[in-house]
A = this chain, B = another copy of it.
C-alpha cells in the first residue's frame, strides 16, 4: 500500500545513505503528492495502464524517481493512492429538491465523467481489472460515493416522495447501474435521455415499494 503522505514527511535522500530522513514542511509533501497523483492520472488517461510506469510518472511529475519508489513502491501503490485521494474531497450529490432530480444530476455527472476525453474514469475502471490494489481502491471509492448519496433517499422520504423504510443503497444502485452498464460494459454511445430515464425508473419502483426493507 501507498504510505500516507501525512506519515511520511521525509523526502529525497536516496535510501541507504545512512542519514536520518530530513524533515520537510507538510506543504512540500502535499505538493509532491499532488504532482505525482496528477501525473498518474494524466499518464493513465493519455497512454493507458500498459504504459504506466513509476519512472514515467516520476519524470512527468518532475519528482525524483527514488522518492516515488520509496513512497508509493509500484504502479499498484500509485493507483491505490489516486483512489484514496479521490475520496478525500468534499463532494456531495446535488440537492435539486426532488429525488428524481437528484438522481438525474448524479447520472449526468457519471455519464459526463465516463465519456470525458481523455478517458480518465474509464481508464481507472479498466485499471481495476489489472491491479488488486486498484480494485480495492475503486471499491472503497464506490462505497464512499454511495454512502454520501444516501442523503438523496433520506431527503426524499422526509418530503414524502418515497416510502419510509426504502433501502437507500438498493435504490441508488438501481438508479445508477444502467448508466455504467450501457457505457462501460455494453459500450453503447452515450444517450442523453438515459440519466433521467434511469432516475425516473428507480423512483417509480421505489414508490411501488420495490426497495422496502424488512
Contact = CB atoms under 8 A, between A and B. Distances in A.
Interface in A156-214: 170, 173-174, 176-178, 180-182, 184-187, 197-198, 200-202, 204-205, 207-211
Nearest to A188: B139
A119 to B, nearest CB: 11
A125 interface: yes
A139 B210 contact: no
A108 B182 CA distance: 20
Nearest to A207: B208
Contact of A204 (B138, B170, B210): B210
A174 B174 contact: yes
Interface residues of A, number: 33
Contacts of A91: none
B174 A201 contact: yes
Interface of A: 125-126, 129-130, 135, 138-139, 142, 170, 173-174, 176-178, 180-182, 184-187, 197-198, 200-202, 204-205, 207-211
A142 B174 contact: no
A202 B208 CA distance: 11
Contacts of A200: 210
Contacts of A173: 178, 181-182, 186
Contacts of A205: 201-202, 204-205, 208, 210
B125 A187 contact: no
Contacts of A186: 139, 142, 173
User: A181, A182, A197 — which one has the most chain B CB atoms within 10 A of its CB?
Assistant: A181
Given A173-B186, A201-B210, 15 more contacts: A125-B129, A139-B187, A142-B185, A170-B201, A173-B178, A173-B181, A173-B182, A174-B174, A174-B178, A177-B177, A197-B210, A201-B211, A204-B205, A205-B205, A208-B208
Nearest to A136: B187
Contact of A135 (B139, B176, B187, B202): B187
